Amino acid sequence: MTEKSRLTSNVLRFTIPMLDLVNQYNQIKPEIDSAIAEVLASGEYILGSKVQEFEQNIAEFLGAKYAIGVASGSDALLLSLHALGIGKGDEVIVPTFTFFATAGAVSRLGAIPVFVDIDPITYNMDLNQVEEILKKDNHIKAVIPVHLFGLPIDMNRLMKLTEEYNLYVVEDACQAINADIYLNNTSNVSHFTFKSNLNNTSHVSRLTSNVQKAGTIGHTGCFSFFPSKNLGCYGDGGMVVTNDDGIAEKIRVLRVHGSKPKYHHSVVGYNSRLDSIQAAILNVKLKYLNKWTQKRWQVASIYNKEFEKLGLDEILQCPEVTEGHVFHQYVIQVDRRDELATYLKGRGIATAVYYPLPLHLQECFRNLGYQEGDLPVAEKTCKKVLALPIDPELTEEEIRYVVKSINEFINK
């Protein structure tokens, strides 16, 4: 969007949204409209050829063997855990600082989320705490690492831990599509091998190089195509990727009410199918994902540079701009967070809080017995985090305006 179009009609003030989806649509409107029209003319509205095409494209893009389209990222997590046999009474390690769906999928299966604190810099789960829990608790069946805000967790260390304790790994990559994970140079195609209870097979992570995409290392990887995601559709949509034949087949059956063949149900499954129209939209947008990812990285770099120029990097906690990060969100930590958000709103700048309350303190998990102070890093972080606009099309002038406005607030 041009600078002029972001000005209000009455005053010279920027209006800067978190993400300008209308502008994004307008830039690729002919392709999107054509893709939707093609689906409407075909009469294939659920699953069908467009979904198959998108599944193949995503599998190739990520370097995974299988990709199975489902109704949402939340369902991707739920079906993954179900396919792995996670059920009543099983314990699953999840970070307390993440979107609710990560733990919600565990609870919906009757399993028990075991919450862990986060690293104060990366916001990802604290692997030291994970290791301590695994030493003491032999009821853990799986771990859900979340690549939060687009920054991958240290999968080298996590996979070694889960291999040692023979645990399932469901990667929550809903915020991290296209993020790169750099593996140790000692990794090879058989480095991470897990016992599978599906068809008595083994799952082997397909390590063809020392760089893999987030979501392709664990037993499954889960993706969301919610509109605000780095690769978003125009409704709900999700994907499970895996390199395990048995898991892939289970997911395919579970997403259609557990039926195979049609109307013959071996298990009770779900109605969780990716719509053809959404798949067609995503097939178009996937071609632009690399460019959009690079632009997000550049926006984050400019933010950091501008904060540093004004000395604000000594006052705020800014995210590190590291290789592999795809910046689904650009999140700072600041005192008087709510006051700053109100001030920025008055300046025409959108912000968001991800997340205001950690999961272990949510009312629905009160029965698990967690108390305030149990996971102090996340609790403190929830009071200070503020996400700034991260539209790939932000101009340097717009970013400077955001930073200048923050500087004015801090120095008032």
- pLDDT of the residue at 412: 83
- pLDDT of the residue at 152: 98
- pLDDT of the residue at 10: 40
**Phi/psi class of residue 266: alpha, beta or left (left: φ > 0; alpha: ψ in -120 to 50)?**
alpha
CATH number at 10 reads 3.90.1150.10
Distances (CA, A) of 48 to 37, 45, 51, 55: 15, 7, 6, 11
Name the one residue in this structure whose structure tokens are 């501008």.
306
Residues in the chain: 412
What's the pLDDT tens digit per position in 156-191? Answer: 999 999 999 999 999 999 999 999 999 885 433 233
Residues 222 and 119 placed together within one structural domain of the fold: yes
DSSP assignment of 31-95 equals HHHHHHHHHHHHT--BSHHHHHHHHHHHHHHHT-SEEEEES-HHHHHHHHHHHTT--TT-EEEEE
Residues 252 and 118 placed together within one structural domain of the fold: yes
Q: What is the mean pLDDT of each run of 10 residues along the chain (412 residues)?
A: 42 75 96 98 93 98 97 98 97 98 98 98 98 94 98 97 96 98 59 39 49 97 98 98 97 96 94 97 98 97 97 94 95 97 96 98 98 98 98 96 97 87
Q: Which amino acid is at 9?
A: S
What does DSSP assign to residue 319?
P
Residue-range definition of the domain harbouring residue 369: 4-20+288-410
Q: Which amino acid is at 158?
A: L
Distances (CA, A) of 62 to 176, 286, 401: 11, 11, 36
- pLDDT of the residue at 209: 63
Write the burial class of residue 223 (CB in 10 Å: 0-12 exposed, 13-18 middle, 19+ buried).
Answer: buried
Residues 10 and 39 placed together within one structural domain of the fold: no
Last residue of a domain, one of 286, 315, 339: 286
Residues with Cβ within 8 Å of 157's Cβ and at least 6 positions away in sequence, in order, are 127
Write the burial class of residue 320 (CB in 10 Å: 0-12 exposed, 13-18 middle, 19+ buried).
Answer: exposed
What does DSSP assign to residue 111?
-
CATH number at 118 reads 3.40.640.10
Number of other CB atoms surrounding residue 111 within 10 Å: 20
Residues 129 and 245 placed together within one structural domain of the fold: yes
Residues 348 and 329 placed together within one structural domain of the fold: yes
Question: What is the rounded CA–CA span in Å between residue 70 and residue 239?
Answer: 5
Last residue of a domain, one of 286, 310, 333: 286
Distances (CA, A) of 114 to 49, 96, 139, 142, 394: 40, 9, 10, 10, 39
Q: Which two tokens stand for residue 189?
A: 């195609």
- pLDDT of the residue at 7: 43
- pLDDT of the residue at 243: 97
- pLDDT of the residue at 130: 98
Total number of domains constituting the chain: 2
